[in-house]
Amino acid sequence: MDRPFEHPDFLWEDRPPNGTYDVVIVGAGGHGLATAYYLAARHGITDVAVLERGWLAGGNMARNTTIIRSNYLWDESAAIYEHSLKLWEGLADELGYDILFSQRGVLNLAHSLPDVREGRRRVNANRLNGVDAEWLTPGEIKKLVPILNTSDELRFPVLGGTFQPRGGIAKHDHVAWGFARGAHERGVHLIQNCEVTGFRRAPDGAVTGVETSRGVIGAGRVALCAAGHTSVLAAMLGIRLPLQSHPLQALVSELLEQVLDTVVMSNAVHVYVSQAHKGELVMGAGIDAFNGYGQRGSFHVIEQQIAAAVALFPIFERAHLLRTWGGIVDVTPDASPILGPAPVGNVFINCGWGTGGFKATPGAGAVYADTIANGRPHELAEPFGLERFTTGALIDEHGAAAVAH
């Protein structure tokens, strides 16, 4: 695939290190690139610099399993993820770039009576919020996914499941390059190998620029958008965010013939499986229990997710492991994001998506861009403000969305 942004000094020569931008976005992952694109495309704000300490989309955007869905339980979550899904449905045409978006459906399995009750409750809540959702019986699941083991002899028998037909997958690097190209064509500056090391502030405490490994860059507004590291950046400003960072692991198999046309997820055995466009099986599990910033994790997590996948899909026993990887996810006390103005002048925060970051990419970018452009929270972002952790108005998605992903 053509990658026009590989040169580490791409566009740096267009503006000296001590230049000033209207908006500086810290983090050139999916959310950062999407925010830059929507600032330019929808709000006409093109004097934007996106800073990345490594290479564009080389962090969590390159380490996710590409699942897209909007079937969350709570009204606030369903609203922002459904907004994102609607953007996904027209994104390839808008960007003029094939992101390999495949609406093959997302199936969440139920293995116990509590699972069944929770699943049916979520289906009803989804329908009330205008989100497509169905409850499937074990027989209907077997027709949808013939290779799935629905035997009663399983330790965790399949008792049914929720299904969102409009859910699916997209190719993460295509998504990143589509947003990057769209932003670049509108005049946004994409600056790689540029680590933020500090902030410049006015006497009243408002931020006026960022200190980087490439020099000082002035900024009218600063948008923090670095998955897994926003809490580190915020700490430089004296802001303590209610976040914990955890390793999140996944793996892919060798290339296989197409055998799985739906994304299948299970909370009880905690594994999710899809088959990518090239043919590899993509599997993941929950976050590692310990805190950390390393892009790696414990082997036992991978071992357990493979055991769970083989129990559900016996045919996968013959597949060979190709590679594993780890990312870093920020998790808030209520498993919902922080999105909105910071308690420091000229600063905005986008973080805490946990394992939901990729599916929210266009929606979060559009909502964040609107918030930055207008200096106030977008209506979909209002419930996710930092102040909810002091008012108690939490949006607790722990276990409410069937699985962490």
Q: What is residue 1's predicted lDDT score, i.e. its pLDDT?
A: 36
Rounded Cα distance, 161 and 402, in Å:
10
Element (H, E) at 114: helix 113-128
In the 8-state DSSP scheme, what is residue 353? B
Predicted confidence band of residue 355 (pLDDT cuts 50, 70, 90): confident
Average pLDDT for residues 220-232, to the nearest whole number? 94
pLDDT at position 285: 84
pLDDT tens readout for residues 89-112 = 999 999 999 999 999 999 999 999
The stretch 313-318 carries a mean pLDDT of 94
Q: Tell me the domains of the chain and their CATH numbers.
A: 12-64+172-243+333-391 (3.50.50.60), 103-166+244-331 (3.30.9.10)
Region 368-375 average pLDDT: 98
What digits encode the pLDDT tens for the residues 192-207? 999 999 999 999 999 9
DSSP conformational letter for 147:
T
Range scoring the smallest mean pLDDT among 140-149, 351-360, 394-403: 394-403
pLDDT, tens digit, for every residue of 46-103? 999 999 999 999 988 988 889 999 999 999 999 999 999 999 999 999 999 999 999 9
Confidence of residue 213 (pLDDT cuts 50, 70, 90): very high
Q: How many C-beta neighbours within 10 Å does residue 237 have?
A: 19
Query: Angle CA(60)–CA(179)–CA(329) in degrees, nearest 5?
Result: 15
Of 85, 83, 78, the C-alpha closest to 125 is: 78
Per-residue pLDDT band for 357 (boundaries 50, 70, 90) equals very high
